[in-house]
A and B are shown apart, each in its own frame.
Chain A
Amino acid sequence: GAGVSQSPSNKVTEKGKDVELRCDPISGHTALYWYRQSLGQGLEFLIYFQGNSAPDKSGLPSDRFSAERTGGSVSTLTIQRTQQEDSAVYLCASSPMWETQYFGPGTRLLVL
């Protein structure tokens, strides 16, 4: 079946511009997560959606980062006024409730 998909696969932007990253989770998965992986680092948790509950935003590094999940399915991660340190691979994962998380291929963001 279809896995988690993310778009775009690559994004190059200029410092100060806003970017939107999209995630399509596996159908029926109630939980959706955003992580990022900077060069040479492990995956860093950003934000978590579970069903209709308020999202857990505790991992967002600054108020320039926000995310929404429409209709309990597709999610968009928005980074405003991008900085060079935002360059990373942004990974989305989904899971049925608290179970194993399945990852998408990621969006590679480069801020020049």
Chain B
Amino acid sequence: DQQVKQNSPSLSVQEGRISILNCDYTNSMFDYFLWYKKYPAEGPTFLISISSIKDKNEDGRFTVFLNKSAKHLSLHIVPSQPGDSAVYFCAASGWNYGGSQGNLIFGKGTKLSVKP
């Protein structure tokens, strides 16, 4: 059973508008969440992360929100740019969640297309 879910396989947004990518998780032991961006034929690139002690983390155009009670996090990109077009992966980790300490559990990704 998937512990990290990205229910939207794709998202299309107009340049300059907000992109909102969503991620849900099932394991309450996760305490660290990350977003990675992946271009074709390249490895994932770290984008932004958030610890479970926070509910928001911001870095330039990128903001991650965490709602622990709903086991939901989202990535907001404002304003969206054509260069943001990529696959975005949500990932989670945590001590003693039942898996290996340190390894990341990934969602299946959401393909973002930002149209000029």
Contacts and interface: CB of A to CB of B under 8 A. Distances in A.
B78 interface: no
Nearest to A31: B102
Contact of B106 (A42, A100, A102): A42
B108 interface: yes
A16 to B, nearest CB: 27
Interface in A65-105: 91, 93, 95, 98, 100-105
B69 interface: no
A42 B44 contact: no
Interface residues of B, number: 24
B78 to A, nearest CB: 23
B99 A103 contact: no
A106 B102 contact: no
A42 B109 contact: yes
B103 A105 contact: no
A48 B101 CA distance: 9
B102 to A, nearest CB: 5
A86 B49 CA distance: 31
Contacts of A45: 99-100, 103-105
A58 B100 contact: yes
A43 interface: yes
B108 A42 contact: yes
Interface of B: 4, 6, 34, 36, 41-46, 49, 89, 91, 99-109
